[in-house]
Amino acid sequence: MAVRNIAVTDTIEKFRTEFNAMTLNDFGDIANLDASLTATNLVDAMNETLSVATNTAGFRIEDSSSTQQLIGGGEVMRILGTSNEIEAVVSATDTLTIGLPNVVSITTSVTAPTVNAGNLALTNGSITDSGGSISFGDENLSTTGTLGSGAITSSGNISGVNITGSGTTHTLGTIEVAGNVIRSTDSTQIEINDSLKVIGPLSAGVTTLNPAGSNNIESTTGFTIFGSNILMGQGKSIAFEGATANDFETDIQVTDPTADRTITFPDASGTVALTGSTGYATSTIFTSAVTLILYNSSGTPVKTIVGSAT
């Protein structure tokens, strides 16, 4: 199709000839358009032809918002992956593969009913393993919330954790706790390797240490002491309350020894005579005793002196 030009000096006949030739030869007869085209002018026909061509040789892509993009014949659609997020691979024949890399980085969040990773499943705040066991390896497990569990089995340390069970009996290793009772499940004795501090009274059978916050040792059946001697500390004594609980007690103590001393009580029943206690110095405490009686001027006895006859 040659360029047609009408000069200023050309005649109207020249203009008529060129115009008719342009509409006939350059534009063509509108009646000759393909029956599939509905356009009635050259521009609309070209647009309609382009649409037919692209629908035949090209295609359109559309996203979830219904936004479309025309990919015409000869054009290239590029699908670019993002490092650690998505991979896109083009291969023969006419194949596009979109997948995830071995290491995936998620910058926001993942929302799904269930997230599976091998045997591990995460569903609505619950982590389960189809193999029946979840291992954290040698990593530390820490929580600022509440750790709820049935049975806890550990070959390492459990520190800084308040463990509250839902049942009445709980077992940690071979130590069983039921209410306020602690016992061993594999022995009749619980061994404590460190020192033991008890704030309140300590009871063992019928014996109680520090009952009611006092410094006493009480027993409902009395004491039987086995083993070595009992050593009283410096300035200490043994106090007897007597038959009446009051402010008066009898203390037994010794003068500061200057050597090892031994006081032996005889194998007999009786009353111990004390210095200055003349009322107990009778003939019954002496062997072969001699009695001296002192009388006053009226013949009434006022003193009795008992002494050994030897």
Distance CA 234, CA 205 (A): 30
| pLDDT at residue 12 greater than cutoff 60 | yes
Rounded to 5°, angle at Cα 289 from 287 and 294: 155
Q: What is the mean pLDDT of residues 115-141?
A: 86
Does residue 177 lie within any of the structural domains? no
Does residue 100 lie within any of the structural domains? no
Burial group, residue 37, by CB count within 10 angstroms (0-12, 13-18, 19+): middle
Candidates 197, 169, 171; CA nearest to 184 is 171
54 to 32, 37, 172: CA distances (angstroms): 22, 15, 74
Distance CA 284, CA 279 (A): 12
Does residue 120 lie within any of the structural domains? no
DSSP code of residue 231: P
Size of the chain in residues: 310
| Sign of the four-CA dihedral 100, 106, 109, 115 | positive
Rg (CA), the chain: 57
Instruction: Give me the pLDDT at residue 154, please.
Output: 65
Give residue 296's domain range.
278-308
188 preceded by a cis bond (ω within 30 of 0)? no
pLDDT tens digit string along 256-306? 999 999 999 889 888 777 776 666 656 566 555 667 788 888 889 888 776
Quickly state the pLDDT bin for 194 (edges 50, 70, 90). very high
Share of the chain above pLDDT 70, in %: 82
**Residue 273 CB coordination number (10 Å):** 13
Quickly state the pLDDT bin for 2 (edges 50, 70, 90). low
Instruction: Give me the pLDDT at residue 55, please.
Output: 65
Does residue 181 lie within any of the structural domains? no
> Terminus-to-terminus CA distance in the chain, angstroms?
172
- What the block records as the tokens of 301 is 């006895």
Does residue 249 lie within any of the structural domains? no
Domain count across the chain: 1
Instruction: Give me the pLDDT at residue 110, please.
Output: 77
Does residue 289 lie within any of the structural domains? yes
